[in-house]
Amino acid sequence: MANWALPDVEQNNVKLRVMTVFGTRPEGIKMMPIIRELRRHPSMEPIVCVTGQHRHMVDQVFSAFDERPDVDLDIMAPNQTLGDVTAKVIVRLNEVFAAEKPDVVLVHGDTTTALAAAIAAFYAHLTIGHVEAGLRSFDLQRPWPEEFNRVAIDSVADLLFAPTDGAAANLSKEYNRRGQIVVTGNTGIDALLHIAARLGVEPALEARIAANYAFLDSNRRLILVTGHRRESFGPGFQSICDGLTAVAARDDVQLVYPVHLNPQVQGVVRQRLSESPNIHLIEPVDYLDMVFLMRRATLLITDSGGIQEEGPALGKPVLVMRDVTERPEALASGVVKLIGTDPEIMRREVDALLDDPVECANRSRAIFPYGDGTAAVRIVKAIEELAR
């Protein structure tokens, strides 16, 4: 168990300075509910720090939630390695911690930003909270480097915010765990339900977003595709593109693929898919647009962890272009299915969903294995109770 040294917010009448550190769009989406909840508590003083790991895409998240960063490390440079990013974040955060003097540092998930921020906070003897702790594929190579990142973060975190009972069970078995486990649900569901509700009650907003996709054919079923995992770079992405080409040969579908900005994704995807008339390759979209597209889609094909959580909550079947996943809860429901990167398997699984109405209906059930939309409330409550 960790040895915490937090100020007593009740006896000393001080505010607890809680710094959230993130750098990518998925992290930003899942941290926004926590930031908003921290602002509701007079005893808390949130400090929002971004590293700039996904410069353009994380800026979109701030816009969607009407938030802004307090500290921007702006560490990105062309062609830098994971080691470069890690080193820059650690060095810069050492300076930021000295200036801002946070009591708690919250990191999210499994990114390079999260790992580097946790290391920097550990070196600075700060209390570390890991949001979305305990996810495991039990294979350090898949997903790479994410599995290593989250295992390492969990080994130094003081508060382990597990999204599910299964994640908590993973943590309880680890010999080097020192942190307190709190099952909270997933903050991604908080964010999703917030944005989906906005679209439901703001018809002008939904109409404005819909106008961005006037090219879509209302008579064709929409398949939304995302893909960016490093372990698929090279032959894996070539196979993914072959599978998407085979799926797009159907005359009753249209694929929308917001292409990740990583050059190793952009190159192969645009080379292999740009000539297919039923595939729309578009620039990365902001979170409002992504929720709109997910709601409109018939099914989702992805290698994203977040969409494995969001799709079930929206009642959308999800085909995951990976061989293993750290999110087994949705797999158990049958709504999410692993298909790897084999083109024939992809085409066969899509056909099975689109050509069998009963199968499609069974896998289009809205389920909530990752929480009820109140994860941020539980996280902030746990931090507050710790300070008492």
Give the model confidence (pLDDT) of 278-323 as tens digits. 999 999 999 999 999 999 999 999 998 899 999 999 999 999 999 9
Q: Name the DSSP letter for residue 198.
A: H
C-alpha dist (Å) from residue 160 to 53, 106, 296, 297, 341: 24, 10, 35, 34, 33
Predicted local distance difference test score (pLDDT) of residue 78: 79
Predicted local distance difference test score (pLDDT) of residue 261: 78
Per the residue annotation, which of 150, 260, 280, 347 is the catalytic one? 260
Average pLDDT rounded to a whole number, residues 192-200: 93
- Residues spanned by CATH 3.40.50.2000 within the chain? 16-186+372-387, 205-362
Predicted local distance difference test score (pLDDT) of residue 9: 59
Predicted local distance difference test score (pLDDT) of residue 11: 61
Question: What percent of the chain is modeled with pLDDT above 90?
Answer: 76
Per the residue annotation, which of 132, 190, 286, 326 is the catalytic one? 132
Kindly state which CATH superfamily the domain 16-186+372-387 is placed in.
Glycogen Phosphorylase B; (3.40.50.2000)
Cα(317)–Cα(209) distance, integer angstroms: 23
Predicted local distance difference test score (pLDDT) of residue 54: 63
Is position 194 annotated as part of the catalytic site? no
Average pLDDT rounded to a whole number, residues 209-233: 89
Compute the 3-state secondary structure of the chain and give helix, strand, coil in percent, each to the nearest 5: 50, 15, 35
Per the residue annotation, which of 228, 250, 280, 363 is the catalytic one? 228
Predicted local distance difference test score (pLDDT) of residue 1: 45
Per the residue annotation, which of 27, 37, 103, 146 is the catalytic one? 146
Is position 17 annotated as part of the catalytic site? no
What average pLDDT does the structure give for the chain? 92
Determine how many CB atoms are found less than 10 A away from the CB of residue 216: 15
Is position 349 annotated as part of the catalytic site? no
Average pLDDT rounded to a whole number, residues 54-75: 85
Is position 146 annotated as part of the catalytic site? yes
Per the residue annotation, which of 41, 55, 221, 230 is the catalytic one? 230
Domain covering 205-362, topology: Rossmann fold (3.40.50)
Of 11-20, 106-115, 156-165, where does mean pLDDT reach its minimum? 11-20
Residue bearing the bigger pLDDT, 348 or 230: 348
Answer yes or no: is pLDDT of 2 > 60. no
Predicted local distance difference test score (pLDDT) of residue 111: 94
Q: Is 102 helix (H, G, I), strand (E, B) or coil?
A: coil
Answer yes or no: is pLDDT of 232 > 70. no
- Spatial neighbors of 99 by CB under 8 A, at least 6 apart, are none
What token pair was written down for 155?
Answer: 């080994």
Is position 202 annotated as part of the catalytic site? no
Of 221-225, 234-238, 330-334, where does mean pLDDT reach its minimum? 234-238
Per the residue annotation, which of 103, 110, 303, 310 is the catalytic one? 110
CA 190, distance to chain mean position in Å, is 12
Summarize pLDDT for 118-152 with one digit per residue, the tens. Answer: 999 999 999 999 999 999 999 999 889 999 999 99
Question: Helices in 101-163 by DSSP H: which ranges?
Answer: 112-123, 146-156
Among 62, 61, 59, 55, which Cα is nearest to 77's? 55
Predicted local distance difference test score (pLDDT) of residue 56: 67
Is position 231 annotated as part of the catalytic site? no
CB 47 within 8 A of CB 20: yes
